[in-house]
């Protein structure tokens, strides 16, 4: 599954790196792309292993606010260009 989270509280690129590393160390997360400029995290994860609420909590535990973004889709839909 793929989810996009909007992140508030990042002050620099190092913040984005810390968030990405934390997410990618989480069991069930396949890939995380966190952008400082876009203030977003796009996360591919196995929803049988980890829940979206857990991902949000991981970001909050680092001191940032995270809210659900605009798109969530299955990885095969993304590859098809949907």
List, for residues 1-39, the tens digit of each pLDDT value.
999 999 999 999 999 999 999 999 999 999 999 999 999
pTM of structure: 0.83
Helix (H/G/I), strand (E/B), else coil: 16 = helix
Domains and CATH numbers, the chain: 2-70 (3.30.70.100)
Q: Report, as an integer, the average pLDDT of 58-75.
A: 81
Which residue would you say has higher pLDDT here, 49 or 72?
A: 49
Predicted local confidence at residue 72, as pLDDT: 53
Which residue would you say has higher pLDDT here, 79 or 62?
A: 62
d(CA 26, CA 66): 16
């Amino acid at each position: 599954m793929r989810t996009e989270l909007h992140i508030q509280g990042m002050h620099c690129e190092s913040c984005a790196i810390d968030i990405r590393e934390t997410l990618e160390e989480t069991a069930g997360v396949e890939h995380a792309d966190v952008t400082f400029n876009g203030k977003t995290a796009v996360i591919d994860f196995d929803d049988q292993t980890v829940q979206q609420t857990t991902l949000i909590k991981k970001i909050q535990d680092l001191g940032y606010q995270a809210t659900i973004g605009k798109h969530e889709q299955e990885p095969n839909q993304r590859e098809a260009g949907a």
